[in-house]
Amino acid sequence: MRSRRLTGAVVAALLAGALGGCATGAEEPEGELTVFVAASLAEVADRVSQEARIEANVSAAGSSDLVSQVVSGAPADVLVTADEETMARAVEDGAVEEPEIVAANHPALVVPAGNPAGITGMDDLQDATLVVCAPQVPCGAAALELADLAGVELDPASEEPNVTDVLGTVTSGQADAAVVYTSDVVRARGEVEQVEVPEADQVTNAYPAAVVAGTDQPERARAWLDALTGDPGREALAEAGFDLP
């Protein structure tokens, strides 16, 4: 009888251990999300992560670079680009799930605070030190479209890989003017002034967001996107100067 009781106890312990192991596996803590976002969206992405209480590593860069990384297999869970054309490359490659539009933006002509070069419009850019994004980047494509609508030809002194670098060049006084986004005027916190360009409202960049195909954290990735499209994200986007879809 004693031997049977010991055997039963051992079996019970083994079962408990097995069940406990299953439970532990099911509740195993997930790692930090990797969120790739267009440079103009960096601060919003950080705020959404904090308010949604989702630990995330936000990697911000030019949209074309981000898509190239995702298509090449870089480990990422969420991708947000600054235009639909760039995101389409990731969709065609099967690198992301179906995207949804989360925000919109417009190009903005900005000058350093005080406007030392006296820029009054796009016509003044021929004699100014101008900085824009490279043409393959959404903000660069938007700058070219704006120039075309305004009937001017841009002759930039520098073409940067993302809008954050463009903004930094003009806030540091290294450029007389730059074409960024309306959200960047807010982001600069008084370090730049926006010069009105009537055609700017005719150029719109829609921001699509998608879960990266093959992510090992699909539920948390979708939860992050839900936060971006929900109240926390909409409030953050509006305050940052983005249009809401």
CATH number of 147's domain: 3.40.190.10
Same domain, 98 and 219: yes
- 49-106 per-position pLDDT tens digit: 999 999 999 999 999 999 999 999 999 999 999 999 999 999 999 999 999 999 999 9
pLDDT band, residue 235 (cuts 50/70/90): very high
12 assigned to some structural domain? no
Whether residues 70 and 186 fall in one domain: no
Domain count, the chain: 2
Same domain, 141 and 76: no
**How large a percentage of the chain has pLDDT more than 70?**
88
Q: Is there a single domain that holds both residue 119 and residue 232?
A: no
Q: How confident is the model at residue 225 (pLDDT cuts 50, 70, 90)?
A: very high
- The percentage of the chain sitting over the pLDDT mark of 90, rounded to a whole number, equals 87
Q: What is the DSSP pairing of strand 107-112 with strand 192-195?
A: antiparallel
Tell me what pLDDT residue 31 has.
81
Domain check: are 187 and 217 in the same one?
Answer: no
Residue 7 lies in a domain: no
Instruction: Indicate whether 119 and 151 sit together in one domain.
Output: yes
**Residue 114: alpha-carbon gap to chain centroid:** 30
Domain around 60: 33-104+207-239
Residues 58 and 118 in one domain: no
Residue 22, domain member (yes or no): no
pLDDT at 117 over 80: yes
